[in-house]
Amino acid sequence: MMKKVVKFGGSSLASARQFKKVGEIIRSDKSRRYVVPSAPGKRNDKDEKVTDLLYQCYDAASEGRSYKKILEKIKTRYDEIIDGLDLNLNLDYEFNQIEENFLKKAGRDYAASRGEYLNGMIMAAYLGYEFVDAAQVVFFDDNGNFDAETTNRELGERLEHIERAVIPGFYGAKQDGTITTFSRGGSDVTGSIVARAIHADMYENWTDVSGFLVADPRIVKNPQVIETITYKELRELAYMGASVLHEDAIFPVRKEGIPINIRNTNRPEDKGTLIVESTCRKPRYTITGIAGKKGFCSINIEKAMMNTEVGFGRKVLEVFERYGISFEHMPSGIDTMTVLVHQSEFEEYEQSVIAGIHRAVEPDFVEMESDLALIAVVGRGMKASRGTAGRIFSALAHARVNVKMIDQGSSELNIIIGVKNADFEAAIRAIYDIFVTTEME
């Protein structure tokens, strides 16, 4: 029988109504055997996530401020779910325990983890699946780093004998039992770890969108959903700000070649996005996705005969390194070299860096330009098709966008374009239209 791990995000589990949708999804496919829940998320825009309430409550309790009201609010959220599902479950004992541990200062990670712990108990009761506390099967080392190999072994052994289980997301424990969490959104990571440990055929990640979109919906109206994307393409887009999945969630499944399917709990009929190691499937459009970020600045260094000076680039980059500034891109010409950095990281040290460059390489000019945006046009299909760059630039010219910088990685997986912040949205729309809107017709 196929084995699927299904992870449900906070908005999919925010209320009894949402739980019922999740129950239907799980029951409709017998291979959905291992369930990883998040804590209850927001029910509407003004609502609060249970995880945030837990942090607030713990901070108050451990600093001697009044906390009982927040704790009561959290308990009510769970009780409403339990009542709405008609479950015979009482969390009084758990909440007494939690309160006691808060007062004993069990730690912020412990506090936050209770959100998924309790939701996992409810989920297990609702589905009739076995509850497996993540603290017993997901391990962190003494420094709080995730211990992938121990976890993989222990979790695999434990689940081998359980046909259907609920494993709460987001946390695990150190060897001494101290509860530790991943960073925010970390239930995605737990799902991936479970998928690896049981050699799942598929890791389904259920959320409130129907997959990855070709472009940001705040910029492009009703963008298309990406049907299939490779891990590498995803990394490129995620790095440029497209976020649906926790960044670290890719690694465990990637090791095993397990695909991830992003699905929408509110529209289970949609196929979502499939994330794979590699694929022969032709992408629907030449490009897979577009993403970008504002807030960069460029430092352009000019010096006649720079090309003959061995070590020029290193000396320049050393100056940035000294101030802890990482660079994003570094296009160069014969007598010029440009370094692109995050404006927010750079601003504070701007004058020291410029002085440092003068001292290090005695340039003819150093020029800076701020308020730049970078746009990544990503797609495995670009390699096989000619004229992609040409189409991008003619589209931008038509939209009257001035291109400040171009950088194509040698993998031919992406083209990075630098434009003024003010042109950012227009540029993304122009690129989307030329590839997606016109190729759709």
Q: Residues in the site for ligand ASP, rule: CB under 6 A? A: 10, 38-39, 49, 51, 115, 169-170, 184-188
Q: Which is nearer to ligand ASP, 196 or 380 (CB)?
A: 196
372: β partners = 296, 420
Distance CA 275, CA 259 (A): 6
Q: Which is nearer to ligand ASP, 234 or 357 (CB)?
A: 234
Name the residue among 384, 433, 374 with its Cα closest to residue 224. Answer: 433
Q: Which is nearer to ligand ASP, 11 or 273 (CB)?
A: 11
Contact of 98 with 29, CB cutoff 8 Å: no
Q: Is 83 exposed, middle or buried (0-12, 13-18, 19+ CB in 10 A)?
A: exposed
Distance CA 112, CA 118 (A): 11
To ligand ASP, the closest distance from the beta carbon of 52 in angstroms equals 7
SS3 letters across 321-372: HHCCCCEEECCECCCEEEEEEEHHHHHHHHHHHHHHHHHHHCCCEEEEEEEE
Name the residue among 189, 190, 171 with its Cα closest to residue 181. Answer: 171
To ligand ASP, the closest distance from the beta carbon of 302 in angstroms equals 47
To ligand ASP, the closest distance from the beta carbon of 189 in angstroms equals 8
To ligand ASP, the closest distance from the beta carbon of 212 in angstroms equals 18
To ligand ASP, the closest distance from the beta carbon of 119 in angstroms equals 9
Q: Where are the beta strands (DSSP E) in 198-326?
A: 202-207, 228-230, 260-264, 273-276, 289-302
Q: Which is nearer to ligand ASP, 67 or 171 (CB)?
A: 171
Q: Which is nearer to ligand ASP, 13 or 428 (CB)?
A: 13
To ligand ASP, the closest distance from the beta carbon of 164 in angstroms equals 22
Q: Which is nearer to ligand ASP, 79 or 248 (CB)?
A: 248
To ligand ASP, the closest distance from the beta carbon of 100 in angstroms equals 22
To ligand ASP, the closest distance from the beta carbon of 207 in angstroms equals 10
To ligand ASP, the closest distance from the beta carbon of 15 in angstroms equals 15
Q: Which is nearer to ligand ASP, 120 or 272 (CB)?
A: 120
Sign of CA dihedral 100, 103, 106, 109: positive
- Provide, for the chain, the percentages of residues in helix, strand and coil under a 3-state DSSP scheme, each rounded to the nearest 5: 45, 20, 35
Q: What is the CA radius of gyration of the chain?
A: 25
Q: Which is nearer to ligand ASP, 40 or 379 (CB)?
A: 40
Q: Which is nearer to ligand ASP, 80 or 318 (CB)?
A: 80
Q: Which long-range contacts (CB under 8 A, 24 or more apart) does 53-61 make?
A: 53/77, 54/111, 54/112, 54/114, 54/115, 55/108, 55/111, 55/112, 57/102, 57/111, 58/102, 58/108, 58/110, 58/111, 58/112, 59/108, 61/99, 61/102, 61/103
